[in-house]
Amino acid sequence: MTALLLFGFLITALSQQINTEQIPFDTIVIFGDSHSDTGNVYKLTDQIWPRPPYFQGRFSNGLIWVDKLSVTNIMNYAYGAATTDNSLVQSIAWSPVMPTPGVRQQIAIYAKDSNIITSNLNRTLFIIWVGSNDFAYNRTMHPSLVVASLSNAISDLLKFNIKHILVFNLLPLHLMPNIHAFNQESYYSAMVLEFNNNLSKEIASMQATNPYVSLRIFNIHSLVSKIINNPIMYSFDNNED
Ligand SMILES: *[C@@H]1O[C@H](CO)[C@@H](O)[C@H](O)[C@H]1NC(C)=O
Ligand SMILES: *[C@@H]1O[C@H](CO)[C@@H](O)[C@H](O)[C@H]1NC(C)=O
Ligand SMILES: *[C@@H]1O[C@H](CO)[C@@H](O)[C@H](O)[C@H]1NC(C)=O
């Protein structure tokens, strides 16, 4: 249960942060993995996975941040287990074992199912939160290759003339109970640091070459680190499990 609870609190913290600002968007399009999936893998597996205590197709014991966004039109293409791109690392759902779309594949699905040209892209925010599964499925994966892959996904979106993108960086994965249990803290903290530094530079460079797009990082790493270091300030009374 410990991993579930950690996710529960992350998500509450995230939605608090998002809801404190007035959102100038009427549409949010989401690409990503289990942090954001509100039922896509559940549908794909005929409601077999994720199963309880996960809540209604979410990889959490309750509602997640996506459920709490106060925007009328949410288009959610996130699939649990997703990687940045299936041609870099294949995304696989467990029990039943089946391939799921990585983020670049999700973007291709979105492009097919919607008329991007006629939506008001000035009022549409695109969010990408992905990356940790690339490392989960390939322990020798190099962070810069995953950043390059994420950057390809962003370039796919830029071709549609979109205006606003928010990209999440990686969480402090070394603090997660399963990684702690396997004594992999130092590997994960170094890897995440390298990934996040490389991602910041990559986003800054893409922003410079695409001045008409707002390209931002949501620093979930910093937010979660602050919460874990000072849970009381964020109204959490338990930062252990
Ligand atoms: C979107 O914003 C641009 C520049 O700010 C403006 O020229 C354009 O007319 C806007 N498009 C719509 C559909 O509102
Ligand atoms: C894992 O990633 C590395 C690159 O960092 C690559 O050389 C290797 O082939 C990948 N392993 C598998 C099983 O795909
Ligand atoms: C990301 O890291 C790779 C390898 O370390 C490097 O070649 C690349 O220039 C970095 N990207 C940026 C934008 O700094």
Give the ligand with the smallest distance to the CA of 90: 2
User: So what's the pLDDT on residue 96?
Assistant: 79
Nearest CA to ligand 2 atom 12: 138
How far apart CA 174 and CA 191 sit, in angstroms, is 10
Give residues (CB < 6 A) around ligand 1: 120, 122
32 vs 82, 125, 185, CA distance in Å? 6, 14, 24
User: So what's the pLDDT on residue 16?
Assistant: 55
**Sole residue written with tokens 């000072």:** 230
User: So what's the pLDDT on residue 237?
Assistant: 67
Tokens of 146: 């995953």
How many C-beta atoms lie closer than 10 Å to residue 224's C-beta? 19
**Ligand 2 atom having least distance to the Cα of 139:** 1
User: So what's the pLDDT on residue 229?
Assistant: 86
Tell me how far apart the 2 most distant CA atoms of the chain are, in Å: 51
Nearest CA to ligand 2 atom 3: 141
> Exposed/middle/buried for 111, CB within 10 Å: 0-12, 13-18, 19+?
middle
Residue 135 CA, ligand 2 centroid: distance in Å: 10
How far apart CA 189 and CA 91 sit, in angstroms, is 23
State pLDDT tens for residues 137-174: 998 999 999 999 999 999 999 999 999 999 999 999 88
Ligand 2 near 141 CB (within 6 A) = yes
Closest CA relative to residue 38, chosen from 80, 73, 1, 70: 80
How far apart CA 126 and CA 129 sit, in angstroms, is 10
**Ligand 1 atom having least distance to the Cα of 123:** 14
Ranges of H-type helices in the chain: 2-19, 40-44, 103-113, 132-137, 143-158, 177-181, 185-209, 220-229
Give the contacts of 181 (CB within 8 A, at least 6 positions apart): none
User: So what's the pLDDT on residue 210?
Assistant: 97
pLDDT tens-place values along the chain, 241 residues long: 334 444 555 555 555 555 545 668 999 999 999 999 999 999 999 999 999 999 999 999 999 999 999 888 999 999 999 999 999 999 998 777 899 999 999 999 999 887 666 678 999 999 999 999 999 899 899 999 999 999 999 999 999 999 999 999 999 988 887 777 777 888 889 999 999 999 999 999 999 999 999 999 999 999 999 988 887 877 776 656 5
Query: Could you tell me which residues are beta bridge partners of residue 140?
Result: none
How many C-beta atoms lie closer than 10 Å to residue 128's C-beta? 24
Nearest CA to ligand 2 atom 11: 138
Residue spans per domain, the chain: 23-66+87-138+154-170+214-240
Q: Are 222 and 158 in contact (CB under 8 A)?
A: no
How far apart CA 112 and CA 180 sit, in angstroms, is 41
| pTM of the model as a whole | 0.88
Give the ligand with the smallest distance to the CA of 202: 3
Ligand 2 near 174 CB (within 6 A) = no
